Structure 1
Amino acid sequence: MGFVTTSDGLQLYYEEAGSGPVIVFVHEFGGNYWSWEPQLNYFSRRYRCITFAARGYAPSDIPEDVERYSQARAADDIVDVIKALGVEKAHIVGLSMGGFACLHAALRHPDHIQSVVAAGAGYGAEKAHEAYFKGVSEQVAKNFAERGAKDFAPVYASGASRVQFQNKDPRGWALFAERLGQHSSIGAANTMRGVQMRRPSLYDLETELSALQAPTLVIVGDEDDHCLQPGFFLKRTIPSCGLSVFPKAGHTLNLEEPALFNSTVSEFLAQVELGQWKPRDPRANPAQIMRTD
């Protein structure tokens, strides 16, 4: 554990475990470096696993200026961690906000990314819901800033795509909500306003994503409604993309379904390591139903 310095001069806290090929885990808005404990326990048997607290999340620096937060900056922070720890290339695994950051890191810094797992990446991407997402994001930011994380955390943690986690694992969900309540209120508000509200829709990145060469796995829960269509879009757009849909699952996938998440990602990484996760065979034409000649 320790700190790395980003290219714009902030300190980011990280922890690591294991040895071997490198995986960097990138947390969601509601999580932190601790969100990936079930994955570090599992993958550190065969990989060097690194997780870090994003800017705005203690014990990393928490800038008070919202302009120090952005989608591009979040992507660059991943690569700053990779380079600061002496790693040439890494697998990157992100959930939600972290999934978006991983996709952008692969677009901005392809030479440092070996593969991408983007789980639960979709909020705000749907063009029909852009205005609603921005409005509700501003309200969430205001609630964190004015009510404070401790008071607002139980509300945020019981959203429509979080109750699946609460129902399956009340103890795990309660710990998630408790830790969310310990977040920096200003860090949460600035992250919501600077990163979440301002990030471009995935649909506006179709040209860039269609040229993405990194092997990619997209994971969504079938009850995480606003991630399903973006997941299908990513599957159709990124050449080497696979899509896994978890049944009866919500947004907090790696904690809600840790065994399924770990086995799915493990199989993906094994195929990538062997060079077997390839672009879609051109014969698998989506316009064809049955071959007639």
Structure 2
Amino acid sequence: MLIKTKDGLNLHLEEAGDGKPVLFIHEFGGNHQSWEPQMRFFARRYRCITYAARGYAPSDIPSSVEAYSQKIAVEDALAVLDGLGIDKAHIVGLSMGGFTTVHFGLMAPERALSLTVAGAGYGCEKEFEEYFRTVSLEVARNFETKGAKEFSKVYALGASRVQYQNKDPRGWREFADRLATHSDTGAAMTMRGVQARRPSFYDLEDQLKAMDVPTLVIAGDEDDHCLQPGIFLKKTIPACGLSVFPKTGHTLNLEEPAWFNALLAEFFAQVEAGKWQKRDPRAMPSQIMRTD
């Protein structure tokens, strides 16, 4: 199925199941097919939707960098919900999709039942901010000059991807093969327009403190550059929980699908029961032990 974006592009989406809507937003290194373990599991109880972001076939692939930004990514997610006539949904994003999920909560909190922010944080740490922007532009050039078929062999073996390869060689091979089919132009423009220009979570502190949407943050303990940003989100967003998967890298939903699905199922259930509340004010971070 195709839906139109605000600026007239076509986005490819797929859906399965009935019930409360869940919108899955993929990472840079994946595409809509990366959510297959979740689409199959949650379609038993939910209306599950996933889509290929702009720049990812079979969605349209604009060639101008100005057609890509963090704000546009959120507008596209909203266009998917609007195109399906959905008022509110659980929003689930991994990495690049996790950033979109955070910004969705800031831009359109009234459209979110909950936010799941998995494996998000690259470029947020102030000491690595400039390095991240520089390496993002280098990655963009590599996709553009070497092509996804060749450069995927390097990108798929990043420091937070090898955990997946070690645990599940067949699953990792599927991930790497899928990455090799990405659009050279789409990958380069996404990296330049979205990844390299998005703001750090730390620059959004005041906005995040005011965001009341129930939020779950998930990180792998070997996905180093998501750990501190994940803790920051936990401490900053009022109704936020944090889960860290042991011996796990970046591709959380594929690397540990059973853990991921079970955690999301419990989170959704608590949200829908009205039990996922803001942190109790008595749980003061400054207190170690109570003495009076």
What TM bracket, shorter-length normalisation? over 0.9
C-alpha offsets along residues 96-141 of structure 1, whole Å, 9 cap, x if unaligned?
0000001101110111111000000000010110110011111100
Show the counterpart of 2:250: 251
Q: Distance in 2 between matches of 1:139 and 1:24?
A: 31
Show the counterpart of 2:70: 71
Show the counterpart of 1:151: 150
| 1:105-254 equivalences in 2 (<5 Å) | 105-254=104-253
Q: Distance in 1 between matches of 2:76 and 2:111?
A: 12
C-alpha offsets along residues 66-88 of structure 1, whole Å, 9 cap, x if unaligned?
10000000011111101110101
Shift of 1:222: 0.2
Over the residues paired in the alignment, what is the CA RMSD in angstroms? 0.4
Show the counterpart of 1:11: 10
Shift of 1:248: 0.2
The answer as to 2:3 corresponding to 1:31 is no
Report the TM-score, using the length of structure 1 for normalisation: 0.99
The residue type paired with residue 110 of structure 2 is: D
The residue type paired with residue 218 of structure 2 is: I
Shift of 1:34: 0.1
The residue type paired with residue 47 of structure 1 is: Y
Q: Distance in 2 between matches of 1:150 and 1:292?
A: 62
Report the TM-score, using the length of structure 2 for normalisation: 1.00
Aligned residues: 292
Q: Distance in 1 between matches of 2:202 and 2:7?
A: 29
Q: Distance in 2 between matches of 1:134 and 1:200?
A: 11
Secondary structure in structure 2 of the residue aligned to 1:50:
strand
The answer as to 2:254 corresponding to 1:265 is no
Q: Distance in 2 between matches of 1:27 and 1:49?
A: 13
Shift of 1:198: 0.1
Identity %: 66
Secondary structure in structure 2 of the residue aligned to 1:76:
helix
Q: Distance in 2 between matches of 1:239 and 1:258?
A: 27
Shift of 1:217: 0.1
- Structure 1: segments with no counterpart, 5+ residues: none
The residue type paired with residue 95 of structure 1 is: L
Shift of 1:153: 0.5
Q: Distance in 2 between matches of 1:104 and 1:77?
A: 12
Shift of 1:40: 0.5
Show the counterpart of 2:98: 99
Runs of at least 4 residues off by over 6 Å: none
- Structure 2: segments with no counterpart, 5+ residues: none
C-alpha offsets along residues 179-230 of structure 1, whole Å, 9 cap, x if unaligned?
1000000000000000000000000000000011110000000000000000
The residue type paired with residue 100 of structure 2 is: A
